[in-house]
Amino acid sequence: MRFAGSARSKKAPRGVLVLGMHRSGTSAATGLIHMLGLATCVPGDMVRGPWNPNGHFESRSLMHLDNALLAQMGRRWWYPPPAGDGYGAVAESITTTPAEARRVFRRAYRRAPWVWKDPRACVLLPFWRRALGDRVATVVVFRHPVEVAESLQRRHDLPVSFGLALWERYNRLVLQHAASMPVLTTSYDALVGDPARWAGDVRRYLEAVGMRLPDPPGAGDLTGFVDAGLRHSSHERGSLDGAPPGAAAVYEALLGLRGDATTFVPPDLPAEAPSVEAELATVGPGREPGWRPPPWATGA
């Protein structure tokens, strides 16, 4: 993995934003970054529940705020705003101001440097860039689109075709709106395959962009944090199992972007096919997906 030159002459990032589609390992990624010494939200605000054994590492108040921002756009996490030129017109409907969002954020995160993840931030990135300012480093975590779609099918009873469309839309929006940010692009496979090495790569990236971190935890602690047994689906790079050409193109772009960029340049992607919006509209904003608890949430 390559790393940018030192950025200590500039103001160091005050925090790390972990971006990735739902079911892509962002909770594990955030937990590992927290173990490097970055603060999560205040304990009383942490999303907790038996459906994620290691925890979500997610702020409840910011999750609710992101849901409200999407609702103001007439959208939901399962029906995100459009990619491409149509995004701006939809985003103009947001009534919450960046200053108001910043106050909510500061109540949830009282120490810096911090690490925050909410998959909804993938589709709200322009808003959060205005709210949080320039001193934010970004870690983008991506997972094979079919694995994500199958996970969504198990969890929310959503068709695989819908999950693939949702995966494509989320990742297109991340790649589109992360332009000019410091970005580390990394894969779920790398995280699960060797958590200690993954955390070491992230540490070197954060130090390269100017962040000072305490001594690293032991490799055994990092490796033991990620339970590879929770991975119920695995697909090779060349096996897209009938995924649409757009999703395949986005996935190949993400594979090619692995590594860090001090100033991220979005890849040149083909335009999103109309079939993506048509697939997402089969659920639309008015019909919430179901919820099928995993075995560890039910005691089964």
Query: Domains in the chain: how many in total?
Result: 1
155-187 as b/e: b if 16+ CB within 10 A: bbebebbbbbbbbbbbbbbbbbbbeebbbbbbb
Closest CA to 136 of 263, 12, 40, 260: 12
In this predicted model, what pLDDT tens digit does every residue of 42-51 receive, in sequence order?
Answer: 999 998 765 5
Q: What is the per-residue pLDDT across 240-259, written as a single tens digit (0 to 9) for each?
A: 767 899 999 999 999 999 99
Per-residue pLDDT band for 57 (boundaries 50, 70, 90) equals confident
Is 142 domain-assigned?
yes
Q: 298 or 56: whose pLDDT is higher?
A: 56
The pLDDT assigned to 5 comes to 47
**Cβ neighbours of residue 225 closer than 8 Å, sequence gap 6 or more:** 28, 31, 32, 35, 54, 195
Which residue, 169, 178, 95, 100, is CA-closest to 139? 178
Task: Between 49 and 198, name the one with better pLDDT.
Answer: 198
Helix (H) or strand (E) holding 116: strand 114-117
Domain range holding 136? 20-214+241-282
How far apart (Å, rounded) are the C-alpha atoms in residues 221 and 205?
20
Q: How much is the average pLDDT of 210-229?
A: 72
Going by C-alpha positions, the residue among 71, 49, 50 that lies closest to residue 60 is 49
pLDDT band of 234, cuts 50, 70, 90: low
Quote the pLDDT of residue 7: 43
Please say if the pLDDT value at position 262 is more than 80.
yes
Average pLDDT over residues 163-190: 97
| DSSP structure class, residue 114 | E
105 within some domain: yes
User: pLDDT-derived band of residue 198, with 50, 70 and 90 as boundaries?
Assistant: very high
CA distance 137 to 117: 12
Residue 224 lies in a domain: no
Q: Which residues touch 47 (CB under 8 Å, ≥6 apart)?
A: 56, 58, 59, 60, 63
Q: Is 299 a domain residue?
A: no
Assess if residue 256 is contained within a domain.
yes
pLDDT at 240: 72
Would you say residue 221 lies in a domain?
Answer: no
User: Rounded to the nearest 5 degrees, what angle is found at the Cα of 183, between the Cα atoms of 280 and 237?
Assistant: 55
Tell me the average pLDDT across 70-96: 97
Nearest to 17 by CA among 5, 4, 30, 32: 30
Let me know: does 224 contact 194? Beta carbons within 8 Å. Answer: no
- Measured CA to CA, the distance from residue 124 to residue 38 in angstroms comes to 23
End-to-end CA distance of the chain: 41
Element (H, E) at 298: helix 295-298
Q: What CATH number is associated with residue 75?
A: 3.40.50
Q: Name, in order, each residue with C-beta under 8 angstroms of 6's C-beta and a sequence gap of 6 or more.
A: 207, 208, 210
CA atoms within 13 A on the CB side of 1: 23
